Amino acid sequence: MSDAASSKRIIPDRLGSRTSRLLASWEVLLFGVAVLIFVFNSLASPYFLNAWNLSDATFNFTEKAMIAFAMALLVIAGEIDLSVAAIIALASTAMGAAAQAGIGTPSLVAIGIGTGLVCGAFNGLLVAGLKLPSIVVTIGTMSLFRGISYIVLGDQAYGKYPASFAYFGQGYVAWVFSFEFVLFIALAAAFGILLHATNFGRQVYVIGNNEFAARFSGIPVERVKFVLFLLTGLMAGVASVCLTSRLGSTRPSIAQGWELEVVTMVVLGGVSILGGAGTIAGVVIAAFVMGLVTFGLGLLNVPGIVMSIFVGLLLIVTIAIPIIARRIKEMS
Amino acid sequence: MNRLLKNREILLTVIIAIMIAGFSTRAQGFAAPGNLANIFNDTSILIILALGQMTVILTKSIDLSVAANLAFTGMAVAMTNAAYPGLPLALLIVMAIGIGAFLGAINGYLVWALRIPPIVVTLGTLTIYRGMAFVLSGGGWVNAHQMGATFLNVPRLPVLGLPILSWIALLIVLGAWFVLTRLPFGRAAYASGGNPTAAVYAGIDIGWTKFIAFVVSGALAGLSGYLWVSRYAVAYVDIAAGFELDTVAACVIGGISIAGGIGSVAGAVLGALFLGVIKNALPVIGISPFAQMAISGIVIVLAVVFNARAERKAGRIILRDRGAKEVSA
């Protein structure tokens, strides 16, 4: 973020091949970790290796991963959105209110996704339009969005969702493959193409690496950032539809603290929190790693709040390792 | 620049005065000295934490782990008091400050030695510290009857018309003013946030300055841990959940630039008081307490917009932006 050492950070950017090799090895390393956790879990618990159990385990990460894809793009572009969990709460509250009024499933989905888009546009306007720092803006909108849910719901909850609405969170496309899991795979492919195979994706990387150079190269920096916030809001809306449908109820505290897990997933996936580097493949593997860890710990009866210690450690350790490794390399 | 800052503080004071006057038309006695003293006392912990947060923000960092630090330290102190009622209070307070400073030092070390961005470090330690509070207590509560009378009563004792809690806050305000404006560390904190490159050339150790800022923030969070537990007479894992955002909000409202290097102690205190007045006024004027979160959100967003405009008017934003970009590129 600052410091004299940052001048060193510029060097690997010039040596593109070395950076890409380093990144490639990160994803391979992470994949190795995923395999290890998988093997360890299947040895530690006899209930782990079961198609239906594993299918259930995917629910631990699919919704968060959907947001993580969009968040990855945002972080690569050098911004961050801490309001995603609050957007889920607000979108869920909007859907809940509509459901109480007897509105049908297709409109409910539209309302959920629409709320996400409006919230994303609001963040985008503040950050890209008024050029405000995204960390503080989204801390503010995080209280604002969830605060609106609290005003609407207070200590109440919405419950009566139409039966057909349950499909998005509880339905299965084929055999053990849930609708959410299939959607997760489809979105991973879509975001992978968007980031790695389109002009827009290139622009995201350029902005993250050097915003000034991006501006001088004729990249509409503000427009790209706005679209990224819009995309993040959209994915939070989609995740809200899935989560609300899976839980079948809405409380204002829904998805509390998810912003942290989403950021952890993105960073664990090898996306540089300083912007400019990262891949969707890494985020996908990170999603599996986090899902497997929490599922495995759950099978071993570890309480949720203790799991969060592991998530926090995972976040710090995975960022620290490459930094320490780079330093050792520099010394030799 | 100086005039601008003065304006901001005067403006904030005027806004707070207008708010108090407005609320007192709806509720008799809201502006009575006794009630205002109550509001100040109620806001004391926020003021203390906001000053720690401000020190960190000045160095271009952020500390999101203060509330978790508070919860862990509060739990540790309360459990110690429940288990060993004989220990003198002074020792427990030293213990609270020590544990808090140690947790802050962990943040500071990760930022300083490993150069991990502060937001990532403290997002991580936020969950870790709160998780540790759970591990420590096993999810249990420490209730009022388990705590000693001295432990509970000292912050409430009135001295010269104000409870000791208020006096502690006032002392820390004075201390923060002295440290940030009269000591080398204060200059170093402003310099390393305002222009890191220039600070390095001026011979300031930015990493060390950040480390100390995190230790200060942690120590104040630890002290607040004791004050919180004693004030509310209960310790459990979720105390002060989300309070870190209030501390950031107080700073942003008080005109402390999140980009570092700009802000004053008076601003942070007024920012905290602004939130305190709103929080205390809502039930009085009959607005649901559930609205408080949304109101803080709106206030933060408005304050950020306002700060950015004020900084831009001063004609500094371009220079500072460029400096920040060069350094972070």
- Inspect the interface and report whether the beta carbons of B294 and A143 lie closer than 8 Å: yes
B residues 115-174 closer than 8 Å to A (CB): 115-121, 123-128, 130-132, 134-135, 139
How far does B230 lie from chain A, in Å, by closest CA? Answer: 25
**B227 in contact with A at a CB cutoff of 8 Å?**
no
Calculate the average pLDDT of chain A: 87
Q: Could you state, in order of their start, the residue ranges of all structural domains in chain B?
A: 39-323
Written as one string, the DSSP assignment of B168-220 is HHHHHHHHHHHHHHHSHHHHHHHHHHH-HHHHHHTT--HHHHHHHHHHHHHHH
- B72's CB contacts (< 8 A; 6+ apart) are B99, B103, B129, B130, B132, B133, B136, B225
Confirm or reject CATH 2.60.120 for domain B39-323, answering yes or no: no
The one-letter amino acid at A318: T
- Label the pairing between strands B158-159 and B162-163: antiparallel
Most confident listed range (A83-92, A158-167, A294-303): A83-92
Integer Cα distance of B189 and B208 in angstroms:
10
Average pLDDT over residues B68-91: 93
Residue of A nearest to B61 (CA): A1
Tokens of B19: 């708010």
pLDDT at A190: 97
Alpha carbon B245 to chain centroid distance?
A: 9
Average pLDDT over residues A137-162: 91
**A12 in contact with B at a CB cutoff of 8 Å?**
no
pLDDT at A18: 61
Per DSSP (E only), the strands in A83-189 are 172-174, 177-178
Average pLDDT over residues A307-329: 83
- Inspect the interface and report whether the beta carbons of B131 and A305 lie closer than 8 Å: yes
Least confident of A37-41, A190-194, B315-319: B315-319
pLDDT at B258: 85
Instruction: Tell me if A189 is assigned to some domain.
Output: yes
Integer Cα distance of B273 and A160 in angstroms:
42
- Inspect the interface and report whether the beta carbons of B134 and A305 lie closer than 8 Å: yes
pLDDT at A10: 47
A residues 94-133 closer than 8 Å to B (CB): 126, 130-133
Residue-number span of the structural domain to which A31 is assigned: 6-331
- Inspect the interface and report whether the beta carbons of A147 and B249 lie closer than 8 Å: no
Q: What is the ipTM of this complex?
A: 0.81
Tokens of A205: 């990387």
pLDDT at A296: 83
What CATH number is associated with residue A101?
Answer: 1.10.3470.10
Instruction: Tell me if A1 is assigned to some domain.
Output: no
**A210 in contact with B at a CB cutoff of 8 Å?**
yes
3-state secondary structure A209-248: HCHHHHHHCCCCHHHHHHHHHHHHHHHHHHHHHHHHHHHC
**A14 in contact with B at a CB cutoff of 8 Å?**
no
Residues of chain A with pLDDT > 70: what percent? 92
Least confident of A84-93, A95-104, B100-109: A95-104
A95 closest CA partner among A107, A86, A85? A107
Convert the pLDDT of each residue in B191-230 to its tens digit: 999 999 999 999 999 999 999 999 999 999 999 999 999 9
User: Three-class SS of residue B47?
Assistant: helix
Instruction: Compute the residue count for chain B.
Output: 329
pLDDT at A9: 45
- Inspect the interface and report whether the beta carbons of A140 and B300 lie closer than 8 Å: yes
Residue of B nearest to A319 (CA): B116
Q: Most A CBs within 10 Å: which of B106, B127, B307, as the mutation test of the A interface?
A: B127
Tell me if A99 sits within 8 A of A108, measured CB to CB. yes
Tokens of B169: 């806050």
pLDDT at A19: 60
Chain A partners of B257 at a C-beta cutoff of 8 Å?
A: none
Chain A partners of B130 at a C-beta cutoff of 8 Å?
A: 305, 308
Residue B329 reports pLDDT greater than 70: no
Chain B partners of A81 at a C-beta cutoff of 8 Å?
A: none
Name the residue facing A315 among B120, B132, B252 (closest C-beta). Answer: B120
Alpha-helical regions (H) of chain B: 2-26, 33-58, 66-83, 89-113, 118-137, 149-153, 164-182, 184-194, 196-201, 206-232, 243-253, 265-284, 292-313, 317-328
Q: How many domains does chain A have?
A: 1
A162 φ/ψ angles, rounded to the nearest 5 degrees = -60, 150
**Which helix (DSSP H) or strand (DSSP E) does residue A10 occupy?**
helix A6-14
**A144 in contact with B at a CB cutoff of 8 Å?**
yes
Q: How far is CA B200 from CA A152, B142, B184, B193, in A?
A: 51, 47, 15, 11
pTM over 0.95: no
Chain A partners of B295 at a C-beta cutoff of 8 Å?
A: 147
| Number of Cβ atoms within 10 Å of the Cβ of B59 | 29
- DSSP-derived letter for residue B144 is G
pLDDT at B3: 59
Integer Cα distance of B72 and A89 in angstroms:
28
Residue B312 reports pLDDT greater than 60: no
Q: How far is CA B99 from CA A45, B169, B223, in A?
A: 37, 20, 9
pLDDT at A317: 85
- Inspect the interface and report whether the beta carbons of B114 and A320 lie closer than 8 Å: yes
- Inspect the interface and report whether the beta carbons of B328 and A6 lie closer than 8 Å: yes
Residue of A nearest to B248 (CA): A136
Chain B partners of A126 at a C-beta cutoff of 8 Å?
A: 301, 304-305
Instruction: Tell me if A179 is assigned to some domain.
Output: yes
Q: How far is CA A81 from CA A266, B154, B202, B292, in A?
A: 12, 42, 35, 22
HSE on the CB side for A130, CA within 13 Å?
22
pLDDT at A24: 57
Integer Cα distance of A260 and B256 in angstroms:
25
Residue A292 reports pLDDT greater than 70: yes
B residues 88-117 closer than 8 Å to A (CB): 110, 114-117
Convert the pLDDT of each residue in B140-183 to its tens digit: 889 888 888 888 888 888 888 899 999 999 999 999 999 999 99
